[in-house]
Amino acid sequence: MLWLSELLIQNYGLESFAALTEAVKARARDGEMFLRMDVRPPFPDTPEDWEERLEAAFSTAPRR
């Protein structure tokens, strides 16, 4: 299970919501099956519907 807080800690160099979205997609492609959003992303460009956008990125990423 992928926790959003864990992903942010592991990728502390991320600087935008777009970069976070790509990191979420990469982890989904690597085989993660579940995403838990336990914190709000700390980026100034984080949209109001951030949960839906990250869930969509995670669930539509092609799996290996």
Domain range enclosing 52: 2-60
Residue 62 has what pLDDT?
86
pLDDT number for residue 40? 98
Instruction: Please state the domain count of the chain.
Output: 1
Integer distance in angstroms from the first to the last C-alpha of the chain? 16
Predicted structure pTM score: 0.93
3-class state of residue 53 by DSSP: helix
Residue 64: the pLDDT is 73
The full DSSP string for 28-45 is HHTT---EE--S----TT
Regions of the chain with pLDDT less than 50: none
User: Which residues neighbour 18 within 8 Å (Cβ) at sequence distance 6 or greater?
Assistant: 45
